[in-house]
Amino acid sequence: MAEPPAWTCHPRGTTIDIAALLLPVLVFAPLAGSIAAICLPSRQGTEAAWLSGLVAFLCLGISVYLYLHVSHRGVIAWQVAWIPQYGLNLKLRMDGFSWMFSGLISAIGLLVVVYARYYMSSSDPVPRFFSLFLAFMSAMLGLVLSGNLILMAIFWEMTSIVSFLLIGYWYQNGQARDGARMALTVTATGGLCLLVGLMLIGHIVGSYDLDAVLSSGDAIRNHPLYLLALILILAGALTKSAQFPFHFWLPHAMAAPTPVSAYLHSATLVKAGIFLLTRFWPVMAGTDAWFWLVGLAGLTTLLLGAYFAIFQHDLKGLLAYSTISHLGLITVLLSLGSPVAAVAAIFHTLNHATFKASLFMAAGIIDHETGTRDMRRLSGLFRYMPHTATLAMVASASMAGVPLLNGFLSKEMFFAEAIETHKVNLLDTVTPYVATLASLFSVTYSIRFIHSVFFGPPPRDLPKVPHEPVRWMRVPVEFLVLACLIVGIVPSLTIGPLLHTAVEAVLKDDTPSYSLAMWHGWNLPLFMSIAALIGGVILYALMKSYLANSVEGPPYIRRLEGQRIFERVLVALSWRWARLVEAKAGTRRLQPQLRILAAASLFAAAIPLLHRGFQPADIVLRGIDPAFAFVWLIGMACAVGAAWQAKFHRLAALVLLGGAGLITCITFVWLSAPDLAVTQLLVEIVTTVLILLGLRWLPKRIEGATKPEEMTFGVRLRRLRDLLVAVACGLGLSLISYTVMTRQMPGTISSYFLERAYFEGGGTNVVNVTLVDFRGFDTFGEIAVLCIVALTVFALLLRFRPASDSLEKPMQQQVQNDFDDRHPDRSKGDSISDYLFVPTVIMRWMFPAIGMLSAYLFFRGHDLPGGGFAAGIAMSIGFILQYMAGGTRWVEERLRIHPLRWMSIGLLVSTATGLGSWALGYPFLTSTSRYLHLPLVGDVPLASAILFDLGVFSLVLGATVLILIALAHQSVRAPRAHIRAPRPSGTEAS
Amino acid sequence: MTVEALYASLGLSLPELILAIGALALLMVGVFLGEKATGLVNWLAIGVIALAGIVLLSMNGSGVAYGGAFLADPFARFMKLVALLGSAIALFMTTGQAKLYNMNRFEYPVLILLATLGMMLMISANDMMSLYMALELQSLAAYVVAAMNRDDVRSTEAGLKYFVLGALSSGMLLYGMSLVYGFTGQTGFPEIAAFLSSGGRSLGVIFGLVFILAGVAFKISAVPFHMWTPDVYQGAPTPVTTFLASAPKVAAIAMIVRVVIIAFQPITTDWQQVIVFISIASMLLGSFAAIGQKNIKRLMAYSSIGHMGYALVGLAAGSLQGVQGVILYMVIYMVMTLGSFACILAMRRPDGEHVENVSDLAGLSQTNPFMAVVLTALMFSLAGIPPLAGFFAKYFVFLAAIQAHLYALAIIGVLASVVGAYYYLRVVKLMWFDDAKGSFARPEASLRLVYSLSGLFLIGYLLIGGPLGAAAEAAARTFF
């Protein structure tokens, strides 16, 4: 990884080094303050307030100091390399525009801290409030100072989280909890969209550095991904700035303490969206998409917000909708794409922050001193708090756009821009009318705010007796209102240079010439203002009586509340859909799970088949021997019959299964694989017998004993489905096997073995040579597994007790015993002792013959069908026959096979053979072979592999006998509750 | 195999040998000392894992062992370290919990060691055969530990379900491998890749590839092979769930990465479609289905399904950044999972009753503020909210997807994480804004240590993210 210098600054001179280093201080000082404040005990609110005030003052001081460095298009930056190859650097960057925002954040922050010191009640955990407040300040400063897109997204989400905690500060209050959750859901969702949008921008530009992005406007606007990135970024900005259709969270966020509303919901948090739009204005604005998307959202918000504000009864609710409307105004200005409009947008951002913050504080004072914010209950407060009333009147006059105040100036600029033609389309045409109407509404709600609270008859039954607040609670309001007045009267002397610094930073060389004068002569915007003022007054006069008694919210439209739609969507998403997904896709039953698993993979595999055109090789039917075909038909019938009978007639099913296995053996013989056939046959016999023995102890399942399942339509359908699945799987498998087998295999290993079996392995039975020589190591592993299996079966069955319903003697024995009982000359058990007498004798005589066969199979194994495995299985058959003929006790009294020893000796012999070759310097399990001439017998093939085969033989025999013993012993055992049968002697294994 | 080759192979697989021999030795210790030795065996098992980790750390360079079946390279080393860490921490958390969950048996640590061995071999597998064997070793051990509490119906049901479904998916995996072998004539990953790049792409190979991916998707519980996850997570004793949710997922993802990036590299466009599909399906289902959950273990199950979807976003990119993203995602995912489960294990009432409902966390900020802070950080991180580690995990994979021009995937991923954020935040809201129903007993020291460390990791990721990212990049360079 290329290691860039850890600390890089971009100074214009050496003096700016200090300036650049102040940037992280600006971001991290509030963070440190926040951590310090949370550590304070909850009663030390005053200390926390002092701490916050000092931090905010420090930030303000730094901002003021840095003005010299950013005026005249100066940029200061500070960065730490972090993961540079991913374009992720901790880069803080300040230009005129972000300077304006950081000044705003720290100045209003300081005022709000002073205000909150007196507003917060001592019963609240005040240090927590200030800690969150400072954390928010840090996140917000970080956002405006980010010089890297990803860092910007991070700070963006941090502001969402901290505002969530601030809104939910009074968590005992249900409204606060809901409001907080809604605000977080909406803004954090937007934030995630923003993240992807910023990543797309970074992808387009090739860098996440803000400077690089700001200098590649054409590349961004002409890129095919522009629209996608624009939509995502707008999703972030519009949610944060509470623009239509995402505006509904802001009124619900009013459950926050008023200082929070004054800070977050007037000056900072909601301005973050505006900040983002303005920041990217030079590189993204000017296109049709921008004009329509931003313009439509802004214009709708402007009008609807103003209209809704009229009908609010809650003071803060009115202010919230008013904020929404004013933010809409700024958005419309930004949508127009003309530089002068951008200037107006930036100017109005400043003005709105001043008058709205002061209004929120005034509303907070009223709430604090009277105990209510409901305008229907408040009236005539002027006589109790004339000072506050005057301040509020000036501020709301500024909100209404009355001349001599700052609100008027930016509104005039807005009107002037609205009547210009920017693009020839419907939206542009309606803008001036909508603007005038919205302004008219804003006059109405401003008058309502003042008139219903401060004038009229004295209030009745207020929770508290109203009076002026403490001096210091009013000071921040006074300061802001003074600013409104001064800026409104002499704009170019006061705000002019500061605004110009911000504008130049955004617009660079496009900076237009504009004049910040109060008087521009008798022009169309002025007439629009006058019309709005007069119309607003008349509208208020008409609506006064209606408003005094109405329900909250505008008539008719109040039902269409965004919040309710949001709740609906959330409920649908979070409960209905979620439940639906879970009910449909998540079952706890095993059978459907298996079905889905199989179906999904089959479906997935079928897609490429259909997609790419599957053509199996043509089926050629030739040389079919009728006899062979008939044998196969029998085999298939056996298999189907076994499945048919498996539920209630296990014995029949097992017999049929044996039949199918037998057909397989015949097939092997037919296709010239005698070795496989022999092995298959022996394995078939042994497994069938073992299963037979086990069957005896399974619980009985008798047809008709349990209530049969009613054959409803559903059941039939389910069975049909299962049948179809089974048939489809079977057909699919056959098709795949057919396809694989009909194509030329690329370089199979069979030819390798066929060629080398005799010359290198010294045998003509390729299968056996492969097993004991070429693949000796695999076989070694397999016999070890066989060993483990036998031991496991034995260990498991050692503790197994048959189910109680299989404890009775078999039907056959019961009948015979009954017969004995009925005849006085016979004693019980006589019939059984004669049972299968002749076959028993034959079976006993067969034992040596089977032993011979086994030896024969073993020795011919290297060249002809046979081998250690087959021999071992054959020998076990001999033992099985003895068990069947004589019964467990009879056999084990005479048994001299110690299965454990046979198994371990077998394993050791095999290992020793392998190690022997190692000792001679060959790889593990290398074999050598020669023919040995024995007198009378002739040439005997003798490979070292035969020793290995001997081990296999011994082990297979031992394992089979061990399993046999384990199964057979069930017959001499009683269930747990009964007395255990005496242990049979003769084996050490039991 | 000659003696020299054998020695070389043994040297390359020394950590695995330590685990294998350690597991068998500890089994003997357990058999001869009996149940009372459980605590000792547990600590010894942690020691064995630590030893294997130290040996692994001291190894460098790469090589092929056992005739091409086993591969040691930087990627394997990194992922193995992560997996070892996960296993060790899961065992560490069990030390104090085994008795409480009625699973105080010495077989447990031994089985965990065997499962860990399987994971190590999975990560290093360079051949279909060794891959399958390793996978089965890990899975079989996992089936047994899921049913560790034999007297509990839920636990045995979980084990049985896991086994039956796992066996089916293993069958599919094996089937896919056979097809791939049938059509390429090779089982080694590089050989398969060589065959495919010389024009060997055929329908049969793609068919086999789909089945192989289906089989391995089961192991990481990606949709539509996720069915077992909620049931097993809920049914298995919580310490076992902790294990199942952490290290095995890392190993399985590493295995998928190796299979598709090495063996099927020449047919990238084919597997990319499959990966994109299961990634989208996992993200969406994980997010939506989690919302309705009341049991926190089921919630974590759906959460992990979703997270696997996010990790696969990086893999779908198929690039250096993508693999790096996957590696980082798994590291961060594992830390978050272990931390969350440490908190879940700590959900024990003073009278000893274990509670598992999400609503039992109500008012945690009043009863145990520290745990509430950590769990909040965990939830925010799982939701992917900056500046916590979980955000960076998502950031890396989405970045890789965008660079690979998979815009739709990135956007669907973001939308899914929005839905996901909703249920994580519900937990946060419960802890901070609701009234407490009852307090929890003071958590064991081991749990406190684990969740504190994981919280520290998530918050401090800003500081350690650089070196960790560089290490992940070095590991990812193995393939490119």
B460 inside 8 A of chain A by CB:
no
> Quick one: pLDDT at residue A981?
42
Confidence of residue A980 (pLDDT cuts 50, 70, 90): very low
pLDDT digits (tens, 9 = 90+) for A467-516: 888 888 888 888 888 888 888 888 878 888 888 888 888 888 888 888 77
- Say if residue A751 is exposed, middle or buried (CB neighbours under 10 Å; 0-12, 13-18, 19+): exposed
The rounded percent of chain B whose pLDDT value lies above 90 is 48
Model pLDDT for residues A39-91, shown as the tens digit of each residue: 888 778 788 888 888 988 998 898 888 888 888 788 888 888 776 666 677 88
Per-residue pLDDT tens digits for A120-136: 877 778 888 888 889 99
Residues of A with Cβ-Cβ distance to B387 under 8 angstroms: 154, 158
The whole-number pLDDT of residue A12 equals: 45
Strands ordered across the beta sheet of A7-9: A7-9, A76-83, A88-94
Q: In angstroms, what CA-CA distances link A521 with A341, A518, A526, A528?
A: 20, 9, 8, 13
Can you tell me the distance from the alpha carbon of A213 to that of A279, in angstroms, rounded to the nearest whole number? 10
Question: Measured between alpha carbons, how far is A232 from A196 in angstroms, rounded to an integer?
Answer: 7
Which two structure tokens, joined as six digits, stand for A401?
A: 């756009």
**Is the pLDDT assigned to residue B138 strictly greater than 90?**
yes
Give B 159-178 residues with CB within 8 A of chain A: 160-161, 164-165, 168-169, 172
- B119: closest CA among B44, B25, B219? B219
Residue B243 — very low, low, confident or very high, per pLDDT cuts 50/70/90?
very high
How big is chain A by its Cα radius of gyration, in Å? 46
Q: What is the pLDDT of residue A489?
A: 83
**Mean pLDDT, to the nearest integer, of A731-738?**
79
* CB-count exposure of residue A652 (10 Å: 0-12, 13-18, 19+): middle
Cβ atoms of residues A281 and A273 within 8 Å: no
pLDDT at A72: 79
* Phi and psi, residue A836, nearest 5°: 50, 45
> What mean pLDDT comes out for the span A806-812?
69
**Above 90 in pLDDT, residue B310?**
yes
Short-list A647, A652, A643, A639, CA closest to A692: A652
pLDDT of A984 strictly over 50: no
**Alpha-carbon gap: A607 to the closest alpha carbon of chain B (Å):** 9
Give the Cα separation of B391 and B385 in Å (integer).
5
Among A160-164, A933-937, B161-165, the minimum mean pLDDT is found in A933-937
pLDDT of residue A431: 84
Q: What is the pLDDT of residue B54?
A: 94
Report the distance separating Cα B397 and Cα B399, nearest Å. Answer: 5
Q: Write out chain A residues lying below 8 Å of B425, CB-based.
A: 181, 184-185
Instruction: Say what angle helices B238-245 and B128-146 make with each other, to 10 degrees.
Output: 160
Nearest-angstrom CA–CA distance, A646 and A655: 11
The rounded distance, in Å, linking the Cα atoms of A157 and A139 is 9
- The string of pLDDT tens digits covering residues A840-875 is 888 888 889 999 888 888 877 666 666 778 888 888
- Give B293-308 pLDDT, tens digit per residue: 889 999 999 999 999 9
Predicted local confidence at residue A816, as pLDDT: 78
CA distance B395 to B465: 12
Cα–Cα distance, A416 to A399 (Å, whole number): 18
Q: Is A184's pLDDT higher than 60?
A: yes
Confidence of residue A968 (pLDDT cuts 50, 70, 90): confident
Give the pLDDT score at A571.
72
Name which of A404-418, A550-564, A893-907 the model is least confident about. Answer: A550-564
Is the CB of A597 less than 8 angstroms away from the CB of B168?
yes
DSSP A377: T
Min Cα separation B141/chain A (Å):
16
Q: What is the model's pLDDT at position B309?
A: 94
Pairing of strands A88-94, A929-934: unpaired
Q: How confident is the model at residue A894 (pLDDT cuts 50, 70, 90)?
A: confident
- pLDDT tier, A944 (very low <50, low <70, confident <90, very high otherwise): low
Q: How many CA atoms lie within 13 A of B30 on its CB side?
A: 22
Q: Which pLDDT does position A978 carry in this prediction? A: 43
- Note whether B225 contacts A: Cβ–Cβ < 8 A: yes
Average pLDDT, chain A: 80
Is pLDDT of B451 > 90? yes
pLDDT bucket at B45, cuts 50 / 70 / 90? very high
Give dist(CA A205, CA A198) in Å, integer. Answer: 10
Give the whole-angstrom CA distance, residue A915 versus residue A924: 6
Q: What is the pLDDT of residue A341?
A: 87
**For residue A268, what are its two tokens?**
């900072």
Q: What is the mean pLDDT of residues A184-204?
A: 86
Decide if pLDDT at B214 tops 70: yes
The percent of residues in chain A predicted with pLDDT above 90, rounded, is 3
d(CA A137, CA A948): 80
* Residue in A closest to B463 by C-alpha: A82
The residue among A439 and A937 whose pLDDT is bigger is A439
A97-101, A249-253, A678-682 — most confident range? A97-101
CA-wise closest residue to A345 among A405, A273, A400: A273
| DSSP bridge partners of B71 | B64
Average pLDDT over residues A710-720: 81
Nearest CB to B224 within list A150, A158, A596:
A596
Tell me how far apart the 2 most distant CA atoms of chain A are, in Å. Answer: 141
Give the model's pLDDT for residue A866: 66
pLDDT of A656: 92
Asked if the Cβ–Cβ distance from B211 to A601 is below 8 Å, we say yes
CA distances for A187 relative to A258, A782, A903, angstroms? 20, 62, 71
pLDDT at A990: 35
DSSP-assigned states of every residue in A314-366:
BHHHHHHHHHHHHHHHHHHHHHT--HHHHHHHHHHHHHHHHHHHHHHHHHHHH
- Cβ distance of B164 and A590 shorter than 8 Å: yes
The per-residue pLDDT for A989 is 39
The answer on pLDDT for B100 being more than 50 is: yes
Name the residue with higher pLDDT: A111 or A860.
A111
Return the residue of A nearest to B477 by Cα: A1
pLDDT higher at A930 or A109: A109
Q: Please answer whether residues B84 and B116 qualify as being in contact, where contact means their C-beta atoms are separated by less than 8 angstroms.
A: yes
Whether B91 shows a pLDDT value over 90: the answer reads yes
Interface contact flag, B421 A168, Cβ < 8 Å: no
User: Does the pLDDT of residue A962 top 60, yes or no?
Assistant: yes
In Å, what is the CA distance from A791 to each residue of A420, A604, A904? 94, 41, 11
Could A168 and B398 be called an inter-chain contact, meaning their C-beta atoms sit closer than 8 Å? no
pLDDT above 90: residue A206: no
Residue A665 confidence (pLDDT) above 80: yes
- pLDDT value of residue A8: 42
In a 3-state reduction of DSSP, which class is residue B60? coil
With CA atoms as reference, the chain A residue closest to B467 would be A83
Q: How confident is the model at residue A884 (pLDDT cuts 50, 70, 90)?
A: confident
Band of the pLDDT at A918, cuts 50, 70, 90?
low
- In chain A, what are the domain boundaries? 285-547, 556-586, 764-977
- Are residues B345 and B238 in contact, defined by beta-carbon separation less than 8 angstroms? yes
Stretch A576-604: mean pLDDT: 75
The DSSP call for residue A697 is T
Nearest to A86 by CA among A195, A189, A209: A209
> Does B74 contact A at CB distance below 8 Å?
no
Question: What's CA A677's distance to the chain center, in Å?
Answer: 54
For residue A984, give both structure tokens.
């049979």
B185 by Cβ neighbours in 10 Å (0-12 / 13-18 / 19+) ranks as middle
Q: Report the pLDDT value the prediction gives residue A797, as an integer from 0 to 100.
A: 77
Of the partner residues B2, B3, B418, the one whose CB lies closest to the CB of residue A192 = B418
Query: Cis (ω within 30 of 0) for the bond into A512?
Result: no
Alpha-carbon torsion A377, A378, A379, A384, what sign?
positive
pLDDT in tens, A272-305: 999 999 999 888 888 888 888 898 899 999 888 8
Above 80 in pLDDT, residue A348? yes
Which pLDDT band, with edges at 50, 70 and 90, does A5 fall under?
A: very low
**Which pLDDT does position B163 carry in this prediction?**
92
Contact check, Cβ <8 Å, A585/B285: yes
Tens of pLDDT along B106-133? 889 999 999 999 999 999 999 999 999 9
**Per residue in B6-25, pLDDT tens?**
788 888 899 999 999 999 99
List Cα–Cα distances, A230 to A227, A287, A294, in angstroms: 5, 11, 10
Q: How far is B273 from chain A (nearest CA, A)?
A: 11
Closest partner CB to A597 (pick from B183, B227, B290):
B227
Quick one: which of A435, A437, A232 has its CA closest to A336?
A435
Of B207, B288, B433, the CB nearest to A605: B207
Q: Which three-class secondary structure state does DSSP give residue B106? A: coil
Closest-CA residue of A relative to B409 is A196
Q: What is the pLDDT, as a whole number, of residue B387? A: 79
pTM of the model: 0.80
Q: In this predicted structure, what is the pLDDT of residue B213?
A: 92
Residue A138 has what pLDDT? 92
Mean pLDDT calculated for residue range A247-259: 83
Asked if B407 has any chain A CB less than 8 Å from its own CB, the reply is yes
The pLDDT, as a whole number, for residue A709 is 65
Best mutation target among A150, A169, A196, A227 (most B Cβ atoms within 10 Å) is A196
**Structure token pair of residue B364:** 């945690």
Mean pLDDT of B236-244: 93
